[in-house]
Amino acid sequence: MTETAKAVILHLGLIAVLFALQFVLPAYHHGNMARVMVLATYAMGYNLLFGYTGLLSLGHAMFFAAGMYGMALTVRHLGWTPPPALLAGLLSGAVLSALVGALALRTVGVAFMIVTLMFSQAAYLTILYFTTWTRGEEGFVLQQVQRVFWGIDPSDPTTRYFLALLVFATCLMLSLWLVRSGFGKVLIAIRENEDRAQMLGYDIFAHKLGAVVISGTMSATAGAVYALLFGYAGASFAGVQYSILPLLWVLLGGAGTLIGPFIGALFTFYLIDITSGYTSAYMAVVGAVLIALTLFARQGIGGEIRARVWRGLP
């Protein structure tokens, strides 16, 4: 069996397990898993830029928020139905990522991190400035009737779970195809040795810009779907915290592995959820666990699986 076939079977198996869990999970964990799948989609977008291209962004929350507000504002203020509103969210993320990428990629290393952080903060402050429409930090709720489309009600727990799974599965398989395509292999070459990739004749800027746009659009997709499924949009999703979280999820799950973002998002979500039930100082406990994982599983959980069990893990 080829490595590609093994990879396809692995990721389809993960999708099948998530599909089966819909029928056995208790209501509380059922809702949590839907949320985790959407957040893992956000982390997958980040992973394409950081894990596969080697570009460390500290401003990815602006893409998540672009998708969220592109969807939510058109529904709230323009009366759009969810399908075109979702498309507006995706286009918002794609346009913003193209503009930010074209400017930020003129820098390298630490400067790239700082520039993306500055753009993200500008987006956050813009949301606060237009409080009349965005409701700022308070945010706003999309009513159930505003989110129904084609007879589908995303507020229904079963429907919400399957929609989250559909988006997650689609982005997962697209990511698998992308990283195994010629374009994806060039991104990995850039990550490993940018000078050598340039010497071989590849257009480094064009490939990096493509990575930023794809990453930003996928992150915007997660933001738009989050607004649709959970009916809320708020400025907190554009804050620094939501730029750090996908980095944390990817590092813990395994940067440069496709299953890493899901593992990291799931692990972190439940680590916070469980420890917060025992102590108000739960972040200290979470921090200690994360430090331990960083020390003893430096490649992340998925990275350790690749190093110890299956070297062909994509």
Distance CA 213, CA 45 (A): 10
Which tokens is 108 given?
């390298």
pLDDT digits (tens, 9 = 90+) for 171-207: 999 999 999 999 999 999 999 999 999 999 999 999 9
Chain centroid to CA 52: 14
The structure tokens listed for 235 are: 């400025």
Question: Residue 313's pLDDT is what?
Answer: 67
3-state secondary structure 127-180: HHHCHHHHCCCCCEECCHHHHCECCECCCCHHHHHHHHHHHHHHHHHHHHHHHH
Domain ranges of the chain: 3-240
CA angle 102, 106, 112 (to 5 degrees): 95
pLDDT at 282 exceeding the cut of 70 = yes
Residue 60: which pLDDT band, with cuts at 50, 70 and 90?
A: very high
With cut-offs at 50, 70 and 90, classify the pLDDT of residue 272: confident
pLDDT single digits (tens) 103-131: 999 998 899 999 999 999 999 999 999 99
Quote the mean pLDDT of the chain: 91
Confidence (pLDDT) at 230: 95
Tokens 């070459």 belong to residue: 189
Reported as a single tens digit per residue, the pLDDT across 20-54 is: 999 999 999 999 999 999 999 999 999 999 999 99
Count Cβ atoms within 10 A of the Cβ of residue 313 and give its class: 0-12 exposed, 13-18 middle, 19 or more buried.
buried
> Average pLDDT for residues 260-265, to the nearest whole number?
93
216-240: per-residue pLDDT in tens?
999 999 999 999 999 999 999 999 9
In terms of average pLDDT, the best of 173-177, 251-255, 273-277 is 173-177
Alpha-carbon distance of 240 to 117, in angstroms, equals 8
The mean per-residue pLDDT over the stretch 152-178 comes to: 95
List, in sequence order, every beta strand (DSSP E) within 184-276. Answer: 232-233
Instruction: Tell me the pLDDT band of 1, cut-offs 50, 70 and 90.
Output: low
Which tokens belong to 244? Answer: 């750090």
Sign of the torsion angle spanned by Cα atoms 265, 266, 271, 276: positive
Q: Is the pLDDT of residue 162 over 70?
A: yes
Rounded to two decimals, the pTM is: 0.94
For residues 313 and 9, is the Cβ–Cβ distance under 8 A? Answer: no
